[in-house]
Every structure is written in structure tokens, then in C-alpha cells.
Structure 1
Amino acid sequence: MSEPPPVIEFSGVGLTHPGPPPVPALHPADLRIGRGEFVTVVGPSGSGKSTFLNVTGLLDRPTEGVYRLDGIDTATLGEAQRTALRGRRIGFVFQSFHLLPHRSAVENVMLALVYTGVPRKERRALAVDALQRVGLGHRREAAASQMSGGERQRVAIARALVGRPSLLLCDEPTGNLDSGNADRVLDLLGGLHAAGMTLVVVTHDGEVAARGQRSVVIRDGLLRERETR
């Protein structure tokens, strides 16, 4: 039985913004992230983390190299195909939770399924299941505005999980949380990884970075591997 392709495979992937003068935001890089890995991406502000996130999340196209997601060469896809692939394969978790404040937790999670073709009745069942996975089944009818920051981030994680993606891509997921809620969210991410989820967490926080199996460092648009633990 052949081994599945890596979830993320960069072969000389780089992105240069056109000039004049041209500005390299991500220098050509190679990277492989296998199924079930927990990788953190660290670097100071302005280092290229956002560019990496946008390329990996299929929000920006690289200007050179080949990016394969689950073995699919993303350069061969049109915009509609890239959008569909992103919706099926990638769950996003952001620093700012991006929830609708006056909608309930379950409604916020259901919104991630609106354009997937899943019937409305099934959407609700899937959303409830995702909320249970993050420990918020009992809060499913609460409005986002009535929740703590930690609860709102867990709703955002449930929304990212509801489509059953291959990859959970997190951008500073604890950046707006106090230390107690940050620890709870990191424990939740660790539990998802233990259950087989592939996680990529972009952070500038050393404590968050230490939770991963591997770290990738970005500085001045240059990406390199940190020693594996």
C-alpha cells in the first residue's frame, strides 16, 4: 500500500511582489508536512509569516515553485477550483475570532457549511458535533457576544473543524487570550493533534511554538527548519 502524499509540499515555493523594485516576500523554499504532524511557524513581525500563511492557505499564489496540497498541484487550478479546494481541505483559525456576535455558537459554526452543498438539517448536526469536540456542546445556543474570549476561540476552532479538513491552519490562535484561556486552547489543539489532525500554527510566541513537534523559522522571508525535538 503506497504512502499517502504529504499534506503540504513546497518545492522551491517563493513569492515576489512586483516592482519596481520587486520585493521578495518569501524566498524559494522547500517544505514537507506529513499527515498528522503538528508544526509551528515562528518569526518576528514582518518576517514573512503572513505571506507563508496566505500561500499555504491558497489565498495568494506563489510566483515560483510548486505547491502541492494533499498531492494536488495547486498551480494547475483556476480560482474557482482553488476556492473549492481551500474550502474542502483547510480549516482556518485566526487571532481575531471573526464570529457574528449576535448569532449563536451553532449558527456561527453552520455558516462554514453554507457553500459546501451540505443540506441545512445536516449542517446543524455537524455543527453540534464540532462544538462537542471542542467542549462547547452545552453552549451551542449562546450568542457569541455572551461568551468569553476562550469560548469564542473554541467556537472558531469548531467552525474550522466542521468541514472535516485535512489541515488546520492557525494564525496566532492565542494572541487575544489571557494565559489561562490560551493554555486551554493549546490543550485543545494538542488533543486534536493526538486524534490525528494535521496542524500548522503560525506564532511569534515561544511557548506556543514549543507545543509543536517541529518548528519552521521565518526571518526576512527566508524559511528554515529548526531542529526536531
Structure 2
Amino acid sequence: MTYPGPPPVEALKPIRLRVWEGEYVAIVGPSGSGKSTLLNLLGLLDRPTTGTYHLDGNDTSSMKERQVTRLRADKIGFIFQSFHLMPHRTASDNVAMSLVYRGIPRRQRHAIAEEKLDLVGLSHRVNALPTTLSGGERQRVAIARALATEPSMLLCDEPTGNLDSSTAASVMETIDRLHDEGLTILMITHDKDVADRAQRAVTIRDGELLEGQVALR
């Protein structure tokens, strides 16, 4: 993956990675190594400048932008370090918003939102504003939002980075349980304890994949 210059910057060198359905993979490496670039490619937020990326048997390099957008919405859920919640909307509203462009009626959207909030242990906070939630609760709202579209893969970018250790452990227990239920998870982390929870870890340094063998199933 090369970003245009001048001068051009090669953020990620040609690599090959295969992630199996239901696998849990940690992506580790120093800041600026290419981890976020890889996650953006896997999440179909960016397109590779060379090579191909296959997601659930779909060659995304040959798709039109509209098709890529639809595939991303259908297959991928995102969890970020900074939550990205709308502060003046309830927890239920924040989760339901991820379903707006699917043409689902409002009442049904909120029923799905409440179901996902219950899944992450927040059934008692559906009407709470993010400003009244703890950091761990906000991250669990973000997880519920990511799950609302029933994705087959969850991409996590430092999901515990803004949390204290006990809150981080609670969030990771939720993510571990989702994996146990069959969800494919890829997680960027600087935290060795978090990485150790994954089935395997791949290391990126200076844009190179040093461990592991990028085609995604």
C-alpha cells in the first residue's frame, strides 16, 4: 500500500495473510509500523495500490465502490479506541443508527439495538446518554453498534487503549465471548496481555509482516 507523495510513502509492503473464518488474530507492532493501514485495507476503508484482497470469497479489487460499500456494511463491524458515539443520542439510538441505511423500520431498529445492548450487558442503560456512561460502558455500546448488522468479522483498533486495566479486562471478556460464539476477530493492540488472548499474533514492523502468513476468508 503506497500513499502518493511527493515523495510516495510505502506504508505497507507486499504481504500475504490468511485469516480463517472464526479465527482470532492479534496484529501487533510499534507505532507507524503499518498496523492501521492493514486494518483499513481489511475493513475496506482503503483499497490496496497493488495486489488483491479476498473477503468471504469475494475479490474486492474487481468491485465497484458501491459494491465495496455494501460488502463492508454486510460483513464487517468496527470497534475503535475512541468509541465514536454521538453524545446527545441515547445508547439505543447510537446502536440503531448503524441500521438506518438498511431500510429497516425505526421500531425494528431499536428492537435490534436493545437486543445487542442486552448481549453486551447493558440492557439497563438503553436510554442513557454516552456522557453518563463509564468508559467501559461506552466501549460496550460501540461493540453493540458493531454487532447490530450481524457482521461475520469484527475489526478492533486498540479497543482497550482508553480504559483502565479492570475495565479493559471486562471489555476483553465480552470480545472473547463473541469469538467463542464463532465471530472472526482481528485486533490491533500494543498490549501484550490483550494480544495473548488471541489464537495467534502477527507482527508488523516497517511495513513488513514478520510473522504469519493477505487473503482473508
Same fold (TM over 0.5): yes
Counterpart in the other structure of 1:58: 44
TM-score, normalization by structure 1: 0.90
Amino acid at match of 1:96: S
Alignment map for 1:86-101 (pairs within 5 Å): 86-101=72-87
The structure with higher relative contact order (CA 8 Å, sep 6+) is 2
Check if 1:205 corresponds to 2:195: no
Secondary structure of 1:188 counterpart: helix
Deviation digits for residues 112-156 of structure 1 (CA, Å, limit 9, x no counterpart): 001112221211111111101101111111111100000000000
Check if 1:195 corresponds to 2:154: no
Amino acid at match of 1:131: L
Aligned residues: 213
Counterpart in the other structure of 2:4: 18
Structure with bigger strand share is: 1
Q: Which of 104, 128, 138 matches 1:118?
A: 104
Tell me how far apart the structure 2 counterparts of residues 226 and 35 of structure 1 sit (CA, whole Å).
16
User: How big is the alpha-carbon RMSD for the aligned residues of Structure 1 and Structure 2?
Assistant: 1.2
Deviation digits for residues 170-198 of structure 1 (CA, Å, limit 9, x no counterpart): 00000000011000000110000001111
Deviation, structure 1 residue 104: 0.8
Check if 1:128 corresponds to 2:128: no
Deviation, structure 1 residue 78: 1.3
Deviation digits for residues 70-111 of structure 1 (CA, Å, limit 9, x no counterpart): 110001111111111111110000000000112111110000
Secondary structure of 1:91 counterpart: strand
Amino acid at match of 1:87: A
Deviation, structure 1 residue 62: 0.3
Deviation, structure 1 residue 21: 3.3
Tell me how far apart the structure 2 counterparts of residues 219 and 176 of structure 1 sit (CA, whole Å).
23
Counterpart in the other structure of 1:222: 208
Would you say the 8 A contact 2:17–2:212 is kept in 1?
Answer: no
Secondary structure of 2:87 counterpart: coil
Tell me how far apart the structure 1 counterparts of residues 178 and 96 of structure 2 sit (CA, whole Å).
20
Secondary structure of 2:10 counterpart: strand
Deviation, structure 1 residue 226: 5.5
Q: Structure 2 regions of 5+ residues with no counterpart? A: none
Counterpart in the other structure of 2:27: 41
Amino acid at match of 2:159: P
Tell me how far apart the structure 2 counterparts of residues 224 and 73 of structure 1 sit (CA, whole Å).
25
Deviation, structure 1 residue 224: 2.8
Tell me how far apart the structure 1 counterparts of residues 34 and 20 of structure 2 sit (CA, whole Å).
22
Tell me how far apart the structure 2 counterparts of residues 48 and 204 of structure 1 sit (CA, whole Å).
13
Secondary structure of 2:78 counterpart: strand
Tell me how far apart the structure 1 counterparts of residues 184 and 193 of structure 2 sit (CA, whole Å).
19
Tell me how far apart the structure 1 counterparts of residues 3 and 212 of structure 2 sit (CA, whole Å).
27
Secondary structure of 1:142 counterpart: coil
Give me the identity figure in percent.
Answer: 59
Check if 1:186 corresponds to 2:172: yes
